[in-house]
Amino acid sequence: MNALPVQKDRPTTQRPWRILLAKPGLDGHDRGIHVIAAALRDAGFEVIYTGLRQTPESIVQAALQEDVDAIGLSVLSGSHMTQFTEVLNQMKESGVDDVLLVGGGIIPDADVEELKKRGVGELFGPGTPLQEIVDYLKKTLGKGG
């Protein structure tokens, strides 16, 4: 049996952090989420990408089945308020209160603040350095793990 890869920032007795990435709604632009997935894998995360056109229900069910530490949504369609809110509602209904919800896309500053008030973690806009995303997730997940 092969051992898990050694993580620099995590004790060797723990599994790598697991993050589920998803594109909710009708947004078909997935280049950015593929770049993020590769960067997170390179940083030692276990990444599950659910693909395009996911529903909030399917995202949360996949997160439960995969036992993830975080969910990352990419929304470029302008439906960010609806998509993030619905995922948060599904998380609450399903008892998923120990999973970090983060995301990215083209989201106005006022909406970023409102989504954070509702319980979303960090929201990253286009051009955010990949290392900034990795560092945020390691720091934030490290507090709980």
Residue 38 covered by a domain: yes
* Structural domains counted in the chain: 1
- d(CA 64, CA 66) in angstroms, rounded, equals 6
Average pLDDT of the segment spanning 65-81: 96
Residue 6 in domain: no
What's the whole-number mean pLDDT along residues 60-75? 97
pLDDT band, residue 14 (cuts 50/70/90): confident
Q: What is the CATH number of the domain that holds 122?
A: 3.40.50.280
In a domain, 120, yes or no: yes
Determine the structural domain holding residue 50 and report its residue range.
18-144
**Does 5 have pLDDT greater than 60?**
no
The whole-number average pLDDT for the span 34-54 is: 96
Model confidence band, residue 144 (pLDDT cutoffs 50, 70, 90): low
The per-residue pLDDT for range 106-133, each reduced to its tens digit, is 999 999 999 999 999 999 999 999 999 9
Work out the average pLDDT over 28-39: 93
- Is residue 119 included in any domain, yes or no? yes
Residue 75's DSSP bridge partners are: 105
